[in-house]
Amino acid sequence: MATFPRKRMRRNRQAPWIRRLVAENVLTADDLIWPVFVVDGENKREPVPSMPGVDRLSIDLLVPAVAEARDLGIPAIAIFPYTDETLKTPDAREAYNPDNLVCRAVRAVKAQVPEVGIICDVALDPFNSDGHDGLVRDGVILNDETVEILVKQSLVQAEAGCDIIAPSDMMDGRIAAIRDGLDGGGFQNVCVMSYAAKYASGYYGPFRDAVGSSGALKGDKATYQMNPANVDEAFWEVALDVGEGADMVMVKPGLPYLDVVRMVKEKYMMPTFAYNVSGEYAMLRGAGDAGWIDYDKVMMETLVSFKRAGADGVLTYMALDAAKLLKKI
C-alpha cells in the first residue's frame, strides 16, 4: 500500500468537482419519505410544540402540502392521524372505521395527488384509550387479539387507496396475517413495509405529542418494542418479517441505530429504510433554532449518514427542507 509522501489523501479533496467525483454516497429527493400529521376540521394548521416547524394539517391543507412534496420530487408520504379523544376506546375500534381520519386523508390525497405513494402506519396507539399499540387486558398487551384488529385496520386503509401498509406495532406474526388479509381482500399489489426492528425508545416523545397519545400512555412499550441494547434480536425480527412476506423493512429510530441499519442491509439485501424519528428531529431543529448548530448543514450530514449506513431511504420530518435545499430553492 502506498504511503506518504507518495500517497496524499488530500489530493482527492482539493476542489468541489473532485470531491463530487469521488463521493461514495449521494442523497436525492428519491430517498425521502415525508411523515405528516393530519387533524380533523378545515383550514387547520396546528403547530406541534415539541417539533418546531411541524404542523398538524387538516385534509384541505394536507393536499396542497403533498402537491408541494411531489413538485420537490419526494416519492412518498406517511400519514399519521391526530385522533379526537372522544374516539379513543379500549377496543380501538376507530382504527378500522373506513371513514376514519386516516382513510379520508388517503382518499383526498390519492384523488388529487395520485403520483405520490402513500404509507399508512398500522398500530392501535392513535385510537386506543390506553395509548398502547395493542389491546390491553389487566395491564398486559395482547398479541393475537391485536393482530386481528391490525388486519382489519390494514384492509380499510388499503380500501381507501393506501399503497404501502406499514405495521409499527411489533406484535408477533402480524406481517403474515396482514399479507394474507390483504391478498384475501384483493389487495395483492399493496406493499408491506415492516417496522421490523423497532426499539422501545425515548426518541418517540414528540411524536406522541403530535398524535395526542402521550397523555394516555400508561407505562412503556418495552414488552413489545425492542431493547436498545440488542442487535442479534434485530436479526431475528427482520428474518421473521421477511419470511412472512414483508416487501421492505425498517429500522427505527434511525441515528442511534445505524449499526442495525448496516447489519440489516448486509444480511438481507432487502429495501431497507430508517426512520429519523421525532426526537431526533426535535434535537436537531431545537439546536438549530437556538443557533447552536447550522440546521441545514447538520440536516444534510445526518441524511447522508443513513445512505452511508446502507439505507435505501429515510422517513424524515426534514424531507421538505432537504428536498428544497437539494433543488437549491
CB nearer ligand PBG, residue 186 or residue 202: 202
- What gap in Å lies between CA 302 and CA 324, rounded to an integer? 16
Establish if 94 lies at the interface with ligand PBG (CB under 6 A).
no
42's CB contacts (< 8 A; 6+ apart) are 58, 60
Q: Which of 206, 188, 33 is nearest to 120 (CA)?
A: 33
Minimal distance in Å, beta carbon 169 to ligand PBG? 6
C-beta nearest to ligand PBG: residue: 207
Based on the residue annotation, tell me whether 252 is a catalytic residue of this protein. yes
Contact residue for ligand PBG among 133, 163, 209, 241 (CB under 6 A): 133
Establish if 154 lies at the interface with ligand PBG (CB under 6 A).
no
Among 117-125, 148-156, 240-248, 263-271, the segment contacting ligand PBG (CB under 6 A) = 117-125
CB nearer ligand PBG, residue 167 or residue 181: 167
Q: Which residues from 165-184 bind ligand PBG, rule CB under 6 A?
A: 168-169
Q: Which residues from 252-281 bind ligand PBG, rule CB under 6 A?
A: 277-278
Based on the residue annotation, tell me whether 198 is a catalytic residue of this protein. yes
Catalytic option among 88, 252, 265, 307? 252
164's CB contacts (< 8 A; 6+ apart) are 76, 117, 118, 119, 120, 190, 191, 192, 193, 247, 248
Nine-digit cell string for 233: 434480536
Could you give the count of Cα atoms lying within 13 Å of 259 in the half-sphere of its Cβ? 7
Across-strand partners of 39?
58, 82
Q: Which residues are catalytic?
A: 198, 252
Summarize as ranges the residues that interact with ligand PBG (CB under 6 A): 121, 123, 125, 133, 168-169, 204, 207-208, 221, 277-278
